[in-house]
């Protein structure tokens, strides 16, 4: 019996030591940053909405040595003019409508002509790229796709010295302003009129209104502070040893993601679906 207790004691102590060492190493590594001297950092404004994209472009433009490419839906629009007014020669505003094959091709060629060897890729997905939610299938498909693409890229690019990281934000609808209660109701009214009568009958207006009210509730929650997302993006770009994933989230989304990742699926489904 004494030998069993001694083995248990040693296992606990060794496990604690390994945990403390791992935590300490990870904590210290976050302070190691890349030297920025002429690094080229392509940066797009299209992932999290104009507000976050412009803030990120402006923030990176203040880091000496970085070259920023800001892809704008309208290169001559108000947002693009604000970026141009910063006056820094290292900030390039380029025309980029992601629904246009030609514009995407032109943007890629323009950025590639300025890229040095090696480098880093940072993609933005979503906390909902790790978990499902009712009535979010179309959104989830796109974010799960970004997750898969980024994970595969991280494995494939390693041999060429290219590191790949991913940002998984929580609810930042308030920060981006991409939805408002008014815009949701307006879109909902238009959508309901387009639904075939039989489908309207099957689902009922009550059910439809419940989904819309849930979307309105979601759009008014979350944080309006963009700083945690900007910090995560900056760390992913400039840390010497970037994490595979950064999760700037409010406490609710942190807990939800943890439950989905580590606990049995029925627990997540009971509380969050």
Q: In whole angstroms, what is the distance from residue 68 CA to residue 88 CA?
A: 10
Residues 230, 56: contact at Cβ < 8 Å? yes
More confident position, 4 or 136 = 136
- Rounded percentage of the chain residues whose pLDDT exceeds 70: 77
More confident position, 157 or 118 = 157
pLDDT in tens, 184-205: 999 999 999 999 999 999 999 9
Question: What sign does the dihedral 247-253-255-261 (CA atoms) show?
Answer: negative
How many residues make up the chain in this entry? 273
pLDDT in tens, 212-264: 998 888 888 877 788 888 889 888 888 888 899 999 988 888 899 999 989 99
Q: Return the domain boundaries, the chain.
A: 36-116, 118-172+227-273, 176-221
139 catalytic? Reply is yes
Q: What is the mean predicted confidence (pLDDT) over 149-177?
A: 89
Q: How confident is the model at residue 171 (pLDDT cuts 50, 70, 90)?
A: confident
Examine the pLDDT at 23 and tell me if it is beyond 70.
Answer: no
Query: Which numeric CATH code is attached to 118-172+227-273?
Result: 3.40.50.720
pLDDT in tens, 204-215: 999 999 999 988
Examine the pLDDT at 50 and tell me if it is beyond 70.
Answer: no
- What's the half-sphere exposure (Cβ side, CA atoms, 13 Å) at 202? 5
Tokens 């790949």, residue?
A: 164
Q: What is the mean predicted confidence (pLDDT) over 39-48?
A: 45
Give the pLDDT score at 9: 59
Give the pLDDT score at 32: 56
Tokens 């797009």, residue?
A: 44
Phi and psi torsions of 32, nearest 5°: -90, 120
* Residue from 9, 139, 203, 252 carrying the catalytic annotation: 139
Examine the pLDDT at 8 and tell me if it is beyond 70.
Answer: no
Q: In whole angstroms, what is the distance from residue 103 CA to residue 127 CA?
A: 29
């Amino acid at each position: 019996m004494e030998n069993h207790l001694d083995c248990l004691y040693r296992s606990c102590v060794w496990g604690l030591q390994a945990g403390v060492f791992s935590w300490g190493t990870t904590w210290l590594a976050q302070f190691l940053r890349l030297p920025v001297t002429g690094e080229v950092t392509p940066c797009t404004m299209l992932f999290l909405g104009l507000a976050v994209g412009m803030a990120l472009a402006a923030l990176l433009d203040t880091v000496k040595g970085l070259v920023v490419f800001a892809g704008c839906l309208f290169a001559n629009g108000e947002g693009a003019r604000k970026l141009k007014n910063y006056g820094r020669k290292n900030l390039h505003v380029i025309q980029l409508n992601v629904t246009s094959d030609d514009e995407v091709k032109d943007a890629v060629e323009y950025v590639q002509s300025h890229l040095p060897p090696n480098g880093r890729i940072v993609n933005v997905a979503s906390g909902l790229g790790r978990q499902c939610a009712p009535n979010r299938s179309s959104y989830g498909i796109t974010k799960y796709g970004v997750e898969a693409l980024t994970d595969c890229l991280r494995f494939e690019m390693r041999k060429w010295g290219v590191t790949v990281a991913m940002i998984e934000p929580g609810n930042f609808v308030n920060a981006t302003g991409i939805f408002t209660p008014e815009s949701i109701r307006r879109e909902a009214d238009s959508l309901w009129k387009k639904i075939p009568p039989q489908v309207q009958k099957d689902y009922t207006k009550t059910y439809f209104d419940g989904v819309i009210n849930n979307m309105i509730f979601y759009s008014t929650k979350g944080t309006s502070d963009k700083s945690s997302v900007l910090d995560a993006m900056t760390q992913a770009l400039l840390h010497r040893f970037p994490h595979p994933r950064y999760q700037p989230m409010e406490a609710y989304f942190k807990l939800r993601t943890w439950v989905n990742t580590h606990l049995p699926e029925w627990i997540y489904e009971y509380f969050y679906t």
